[in-house]
Structure 1
Amino acid sequence: MVLLNGAPMIKGPRVLLRKPKDSDIMDYLDVDVSQELVKMYGGNTKNIAPKTLDKAKKFIQAIKENQLEWCIEYEGKMIGQARLTVSEMDNRARYAIGLFNPSVWGKGIGTEVTQLVLNYAFEELRLHRVDLRVLDYNKRAIKCYEKCGFIQEGVEREGALIEGKYETDIMMSILNREFYAMKETERQQL
């Protein structure tokens, strides 16, 4: 595995994955907190606090400080973030993505970002495995992950207490050989 020093800029057909810039603070502040997003993150939808300039600055600063975390830019605005948390000892990473702007949901942006990050993880970092956790009621995210080649490998039944109800997490992963087999199948279909 070759761990690079920081997240490189990655350009896709519609999105740009990059480190934060000053205007991202306002892009983040310009979008109201979505109750659905809070629920998909496993947060409390009954007590949603409004965004503040201080919270926005901390959000962007946290992305800056994380070695392999990107701002997702779409049509010139930051709409979310993606992250790989690498375990060099095991040659693997945990993947996370969040699109805080509901106006881009359902447009395939999450799929494009996930494919770009997986390509980076396997082609550049030479990882063996990328995994994630997702709440089982987040059907849109699960569909995206499956489309990108992730396979459900486990269930943590009622492991998350959210708003007084126990919810289930799904564990999913993709191995390097599965990634390359999927790429080969895509090439053959062209």
Structure 2
Amino acid sequence: MFETNRLILRPFQENDINFMLDLWNEPEVQRGTTADYLVPRSKKFKEKLREWTQSVPQVDNALFYVIITLKETGEFMGNLTINVSNHKNRDGTLGITLSRKFWGRGYGQEALLFTLDHAFKSLALHRVSLGVFESNVGAVKLYTKVGFKEEGRIRKGVWIEGAWEDVILMGILEEEWRSDIQHLRADATS
């Protein structure tokens, strides 16, 4: 279990499954998280969620998987994962999902700052990559703020609500993180 100023990042517990289903049924969250059809997820989807959490870290290349909770109340907020498909290259793919009610309050930034620091210092990654839909403007701003750089685009790579969107590919290198960390920490506390 890890702690930041306002968050606890902990392992999955069985009672998280209902909260995860609720999270996947938030239309705004689903719209920014999956390239699948945007549909209500039934209770049967819990089995898929359980499968994902039980595969960590042995299957699906998950190196790091945590549930994000609010330190003050213990309330479920979302989850965060880093997958590594090729350990030789030390490139982790990051994914974060946060409930809509926690957006815009700096929680995502706090979780990402901790996770990137941990990824480079303790997990010995060389780079962390991610993909984000271009309409997810808040996420793009957040990733840029914590040091990710746009590395490319998959043009018209995802169909969302009747239109094609680009998928923005972003990454941050270990040396960029080390040079920017003091600045990023200062910004996070102000």
Q: TM-score scaled to structure 1, two decimals?
A: 0.83
CA distance in 2 between counterparts of 1:110 and 1:40 reads: 14
Residue identity opposite 1:88 in structure 2: H
Unaligned runs of 5+ in 1: 1-8
C-alpha displacement of 1:125: 1.3
Tell me whether 117-126 or 29-38 shows the greater mean CA deviation.
29-38
CA distance in 1 between counterparts of 2:50 and 2:21 reads: 11
Compared CA separation, residues 110 and 187, structure 1 to 2 (3 A): closer
Structure number with higher relative contact order (C-alpha < 8 Å, ≥ 6 residues apart): 1
Unaligned runs of 5+ in 2: 58-63
45, 55, 69: which one aligns with 1:65: 55
Q: How does 1:7-26 map to 2 (within 5 A)?
A: 9-26=1-18
C-alpha displacement of 1:31: 5.7
CA distance in 2 between counterparts of 1:186 and 1:112 reads: 10
Q: Is residue 2:40 matched to residue 1:44? A: no
The count of residues paired between Structure 1 and Structure 2 equals 178
CA distance in 2 between counterparts of 1:187 and 1:166 reads: 36
- CA distances 1:29-58 after superposition (whole Å, capped 9, x unpaired): 55682222222124434xx22442x42354
Contact 2:21 2:45 in 1 (8 A): no
CA distance in 1 between counterparts of 2:14 and 2:36 reads: 27
Q: How does 1:1-190 map to 2 (within 5 A)?
A: 9-29=1-21, 33-41=25-33, 42-45=35-38, 48-52=39-43, 54-67=44-57, 68-74=64-70, 75-86=73-84, 87-99=86-98, 101-185=99-183
CA distance in 2 between counterparts of 1:188 and 1:108 reads: 13
CA distance in 2 between counterparts of 1:164 and 1:32 reads: 20
- CA distances 1:50-101 after superposition (whole Å, capped 9, x unpaired): 442x4235414422422221111123122211110123121111111111x2
- CA distances 1:103-156 after superposition (whole Å, capped 9, x unpaired): 111111111111111011101012111010001110010111111110111111
Contact 1:28 1:79 in 2 (8 A): no
CA distance in 2 between counterparts of 1:159 and 1:133 reads: 11
CA distance in 1 between counterparts of 2:9 and 2:167 reads: 27
